[in-house]
């Protein structure tokens, strides 16, 4: 059964020993962040801060910060099992006979429960503030690093509509709180919300925006997922939770929001209006540079009476967002395999903070195949931001970073096996000389053949005889070696 709300998820992870409650008064300025950083670095639990200085609302951090909690958040035994379901639905096609039709029925039954359901009354609107009564300071928004320009909302689900087609987008973009009723809107130009704003500016119109904070875990994750623009994230969340997402109409804008959210911000961004936003201590482990971004004007703030404020701390890995990134890696591997069937596995290491490193193993059959895979990956959605792609043979376990580095050190001739090119980069990449544009490298760490200009014999890697391994395994307990 899908989680009713964030409160139910908290009860579940606490039952599994994955939550700690903190009753000591702590300041949302840096102190909660310092505790969360220490917990994250030690692979610790989610933390519910119940005594937050200056606020009546508790703060939840590190809710997704382990593989087990990611599984619990999406209600699966393993992410790979959920990925198989995604792959199954990608294969839905017109059945040719009665047997195929019968096989299709379970898929269609599950699809019937993915579309959102509108409700007239919602917990997120139990308390309503509009106009001059709006005051963002009632929320315990965290300042997480000493050099941050101010407090930032870090888990917002930002909802907009395409002003030309009406298609909805929900993304997660940080929001710096400027004052009681305005924030920054950190829209990267590559993202869906930024595209909607671009279209609105061309039309000379303001763009209505709604921001949900603290929806159920599947909805929150869906906002981060790199799904195609034409797929509604709310429908994707319904697929993940196998139950419709209940949506309620906003009070001051023509948008709908998840009814089970903790807080809702309603408002608009004006065409052409910009304000200096940042710096902000980001997931790269560095402060992202200050720049001019659109301004979000809040016309309504609604919330539950028992609201909990969720926040994520980003910084040097490992952090909570690393586990969300690993979930994306596993869930969307089937999509990559659809386009590139030679791909066996992919690893986006935690140290690469999503877009810096990609290790991929392939079933290599012909010359140039490694480059074909590199170029194809760079052409797939947010994979365009990847700075380093390392391709290895199918038998290499790309989840073992040590094994990949061993192959990298042994299998590469640096004059022959690298590709350097230019392309789009993540907005947070401070190393590239121009914003949003810079260099990338692809490294071929596979075995080489004469067809690829390698005329020497390629040696076999060291492996022990299977018979010997089996015999020693059988004797191991009697050897007296711990």
393 is catalytic: no
- 324's tokens: 């969300």
- 397's tokens: 């376990």
Which of these, 462, 348, 354, 326, lies nearest to 407 by C-alpha position?
462
CA distances from 70 to 13, 46, 119, 155 (A): 10, 11, 28, 16
Half-sphere exposure of 300 (CA within 13 A, CB side): 22
- CB neighbourhood size of 218 (10 A): 22
CA distance 59 to 47: 8
Which class for 249: exposed (0-12), middle (13-18), buried (19 or more C-beta within 10 A)? middle
**Of 5, 148, 232, 282, which one is the catalytic site residue?**
282
Q: Inter-axis angle of helices 320-331 and 79-90, to 10 degrees?
A: 40
3-state secondary structure the chain: CCCCCHHHHHHHHHHCCCEEEECCCECCECHHHHHHHHHHHCCCCEEEECCECCCCCCEEECCCCCHHHHHHHHCCCCHHHHHHHHHHHHCCCCCCCHHHHHHHHHHHHHHCCCCCEEECCCHHHCEEEEHHHCCHHHCCCCECCCCCCCCEECCEEEEEECCCCCCEEEECCCEEECCCCEEECCCCCCCHHHHHHHHHHHHCCCEEEEEEECCCHHHHHHCCCCCCCCCCHHHHHHHHHCCCCEEEECCCCCCEEECCCCEEEEEEEEEEEEEEECCEECCCCCEECCEEEEEEEEEEEEECCCCCEEECCCCCCCCHHHHHHHHHHHHCHHHHHHHCCCEEEEECCHHHCCCCEEEEEECCCCCCHHHHHHHHHHCCHHHHHCCEEEEEECCCCCCCHHHHHHHHHHHCCCCCCEEEEEEECCCCCCCCCECCEEEEEEEECCCCCHHHCCCCCCCCCCCCCHHHHHHHHHHHHHCCCC
Catalytic residue ranges: 282
């Amino acid at each position: 059964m899908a989680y009713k709300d964030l409160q139910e998820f908290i009860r579940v992870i606490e039952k599994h020993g994955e939550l700690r409650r903190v009753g000591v008064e702590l300041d949302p300025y840096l102190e909660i962040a310092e505790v969360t950083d220490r917990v994250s670095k030690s692979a610790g639990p989610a933390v519910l801060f119940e005594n937050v200085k200056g606020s009546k609302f508790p703060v939840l951090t590190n809710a997704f910060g382990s593989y087990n909690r990611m599984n619990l958040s999406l209600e699966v035994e393993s992410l790979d099992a959920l990925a198989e379901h995604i792959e199954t639905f990608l294969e839905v096609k017109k059945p040719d006979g009665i047997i195929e039709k019968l096989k299709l029925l379970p898929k269609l039954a599950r699809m019937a429960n993915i579309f959102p359901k509108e409700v007239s009354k919602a917990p997120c609107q139990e308390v309503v503030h509009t106009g001059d009564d709006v005051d963002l300071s009632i929320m315990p928004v965290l300042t997480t690093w000493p050099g941050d320009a101010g407090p930032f909302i870090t888990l917002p689900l930002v909802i907009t509509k395409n002003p030309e087609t009406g298609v909805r987008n929900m993304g997660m973009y940080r929001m710096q709180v400027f004052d009681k009723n305005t924030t920054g809107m950190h829209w990267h130009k590559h993202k869906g919300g930024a595209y909607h704003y671009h279209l609105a500016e061309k039309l000379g119109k303001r763009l209505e925006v709604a921001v949900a904070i603290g929806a159920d875990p599947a909805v929150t994750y869906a906002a981060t997922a790199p799904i195609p623009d034409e797929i509604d994230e709310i429908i994707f969340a319904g697929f993940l939770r196998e139950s419709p997402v209940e949506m309620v109409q906003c009070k001051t804008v023509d948008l709908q929001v998840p009814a089970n959210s903790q807080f809702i911000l309603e408002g608009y961004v004006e065409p052409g209006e910009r304000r200096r936003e940042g710096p902000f201590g980001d997931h790269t482990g560095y402060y992202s540079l200050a720049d001019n971004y659109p301004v979000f004007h809040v016309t309504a703030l609604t919330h539950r009476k028992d609201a909990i404020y969720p926040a994520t701390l980003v910084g040097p890995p490992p952090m909570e967002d690393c586990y969300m990134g690993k979930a994306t890696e596993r869930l969307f591997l089937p999509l990559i395999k659809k386009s590139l069937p030679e791909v066996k596995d992919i690893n986006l290491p935690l140290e690469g903070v999503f877009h810096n490193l990609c290790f991929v193993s392939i079933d290599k059959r012909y010359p140039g195949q490694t480059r074909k895979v590199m170029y194809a990956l760079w052409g797939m959605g947010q994979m365009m931001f990847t700075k380093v792609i390392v391709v290895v043979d199918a038998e290499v376990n790309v989840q073992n970073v040590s094994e990949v580095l061993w192959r990298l050190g042994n299998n590469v001739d640096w004059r022959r096996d690298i590709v350097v090119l230019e392309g789009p980069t993540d907005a947070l990449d401070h190393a590239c000389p121009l914003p949003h544009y810079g260099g990338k490298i692809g490294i071929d760490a596979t075995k080489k053949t004469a067809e690829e200009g390698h005329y020497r014999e390629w040696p076999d890697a060291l492996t022990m005889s299977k018979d010997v391994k089996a015999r020693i395994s059988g004797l191991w307990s009697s050897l007296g070696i711990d």
